[in-house]
Chain A
Amino acid sequence: MSTLVIAEHDNESLSPATLNAMAAAQALGADIDILVAGAGCSAAAEAAAAIGGVGKVLCADNAVYGNQLAENVSLLIAEVAAPYDNIVAAATTNGKNIMPRVAALLDVAQISDVIAVESADTFKRPIYAGNVIATVQSSDAKKVITVRTTAFDPAPADGGSASVEAVDAVHDAGLSEFISQEIAQSDRPELTAAPIVISGGRGMQNGENFKMLEGIADKLGAAIGASRAAVDAGFVPNDMQVGQTGKIVAPDLYIAVGISGAIQHLAGMKDSKTIVAINKDDDAPIFQVADYGLVADLFTALPELESKL
């Protein structure tokens, strides 16, 4: 049995999600190789080679893979996948974009958002906004899997010295072109990997008021998240949305401020170790999942909290 992990990277370095995917691959119990597809991605390939337990790194370094266009990268993966039993990637927007396309090319199912590996062909995954956990068994010879990063502790980034093998296949489907990208720059930890997350909802009233969360986040070394309502209202950008259809987080501490606790929001944060809710409505559903609930007006509670940390 053998597994191919699809690395997520920016050509220079690996994203932390790759190590979560690696951990899930280890749970499958087979030999593991990693594919790094990109343009000028040798540094990322070296980083992948340093991960403990990696057999070899396949490096497809070509301009056509530079922007991770799904049409091109999926053709590459489908070709490289031939000798492997499992193809594993993190369930990031990149993994979600590419892996179903790979599965269809291979004429197999794709198993999304795996949270536990029960055996070589049986997996647990959340359905219905995480209100139900399904155990599914695959009858496909090749399993194409995306894994929920928060469910697998990252594998160690070092301890290995795998060889890097160049893959020459060039797949340019000619269907799509990259135009531009706006990536939010922040000195704060990445939302899905941060040990502490503080999120604001509609109760924050506007984007300006999110500054109140920033002061606290700075003191705690926290990342900042948001509910859909806060993103839809334009308070903050889309990449901050936590929930069923946004990002999944499971930090040691999650602080929900002015968030009611809709099932779609809970789906993205209820596996956090400790949950704090600050809400002026005593009956807000968020209190049903909160370890510590503070019924208060956030406009008085937040400045006080910041001063007392």
Chain B
Amino acid sequence: MKVLVAVKRVVDYNVKVRAKADGTDVDLNNVKMSINPFCEIAVEEAVRLKEAGVATEIVAVSIGEKACQEQIRTALALGADRGIQVETEGGVEPLVVAKLLKGVIDKEEPQLVILGKQSIDGDNNQTGQMLAALANMAQGTFASVVEVDGDRLKVTREIDGGLQTLSLSLPAIITTDLRLNEPRYASLPNIMKAKKKPLDVLTPGDLGVEVSKHLTLVKVEPPAERKAGIKVEDVDQLVDKLKNEAKVIG
């Protein structure tokens, strides 16, 4: 089966992002950018499906400015076969990303689409579910186990109380949770090979999608700062402080 994987370029997870002083947006000057960790898990899952003989071709797609080709190349180095960049100016909202991905689905007709459950910049956790609605497909969100079972997909999901297992008809949309797999590192030869793999560039117009705007960023600000605390000497002092100062235990 053909598998489509969506990857997003985001601030590296080790970076502590700050608001700009004027509060108009976050400060991303000279900040390290990476593939969103959940997207990396999505790519890894697709590659494992290919290694298991289930997936026949893996197409990695990213939506954004030219720089996101770097993350497509990362996916290609990890084992995706070819890439598609849908070129947009700056970031677009999850609903638009979902519409663009729907456009790519219509062109590519994959049997399975794997996305990260959330990107660690906007923390929205929306795109996969929106795409599933637009494509009228089953969704297996927050997946920790994915098994192809004939013409269906068995997905175990991480939910608030524990785990839930669903059977989905194909084609289907999966969004990855942390425990789905542990992504591999790309080897140097594979990074070199990835540079030669095909990468097509499309515009929203090519996909018949209008880039609409539903939300305006009014301002950004730092969260309420916590007052610096103290170090206690020992357990006795800790218990005393909790009882008599913070008054949080009886």
Chain A interface residues (CB < 8 Å from chain B): 69-71, 74, 92-94, 96-105, 107-113, 122, 126-140, 173-184, 192, 196, 220, 228, 231-232, 237-239, 244-245, 247, 252-253, 263-264, 270, 273-276, 287-296, 301, 304-305, 308-309
Residues of B within 8 A of A174 (CB): 169
Add 16 more A-B contacts to A127-B220, A135-B221, A239-B158 (CB < 8 A). A96-B142, A99-B129, A100-B126, A100-B129, A103-B95, A104-B131, A127-B123, A132-B222, A135-B220, A177-B166, A184-B161, A245-B38, A245-B177, A253-B248, A276-B242, A292-B230
The answer to whether B216 has its CB under 8 Å from any CB of chain A is: yes
Some 23 contacts from A to B, beta carbons below 8 A apart, are A103-B130, A109-B95, A112-B125, A129-B123, A132-B17, A133-B223, A135-B219, A174-B169, A175-B138, A175-B169, A176-B138, A179-B154, A184-B161, A192-B160, A239-B161, A245-B177, A245-B178, A253-B249, A291-B230, A292-B232, A292-B241, A305-B238, A308-B236
Residues of B within 8 A of A264 (CB): 13, 120
The answer to whether B159 has its CB under 8 Å from any CB of chain A is: yes
Q: Are A237 and B249 in contact (CB under 8 A)?
A: no
Q: Are A100 and B125 in contact (CB under 8 A)?
A: yes
Q: How far is the CA of A174 from the CA of B152 in the complex (A)?
A: 12
Residue from A129, A135, A291 with most neighbouring chain B CB atoms (10 Å): A291
Partner among B162, B223, B227 whose Cβ is within 8 Å of the Cβ of A238 = B162
| Smallest Cβ-Cβ distance to B17: which chain A residue | A128
Q: How far is the CA of A208 from the CA of B238 in the complex (A)?
A: 25
Q: Are A139 and B166 in contact (CB under 8 A)?
A: no
Q: How far is the CA of A69 from the CA of B125 in the complex (A)?
A: 17
The answer to whether B16 has its CB under 8 Å from any CB of chain A is: yes
Instruction: Mark B153-176 against chain A: 1 for CB-CB distance below 8 A, else 0.
Output: 010011111111111110010000
Partner among B126, B219, B235 whose Cβ is within 8 Å of the Cβ of A103 = B126
Partner among A98, A111, A122, A181 whose Cβ is within 8 Å of the Cβ of B218 = A122
Partner among B117, B162, B223 whose Cβ is within 8 Å of the Cβ of A237 = B162
Residues of B within 8 A of A292 (CB): 229-232, 238, 241-242, 246
Residues of A within 8 A of B195 (CB): none
Q: Tell me the minimal C-beta distance from B230 to chain A in angstroms.
A: 6
Interface size class of B (residues with CB under 8 A): 35 or more
Residues of A within 8 A of B62 (CB): none
| Smallest Cβ-Cβ distance to A71: which chain B residue | B138
Instruction: Mark B116-138 against chain A: 1 for CB-CB distance below 8 A, else 0.
Output: 01101111111111111110111
Q: Are A181 and B163 in contact (CB under 8 A)?
A: yes
Q: How far is the CA of A130 from the CA of B222 in the complex (A)?
A: 9
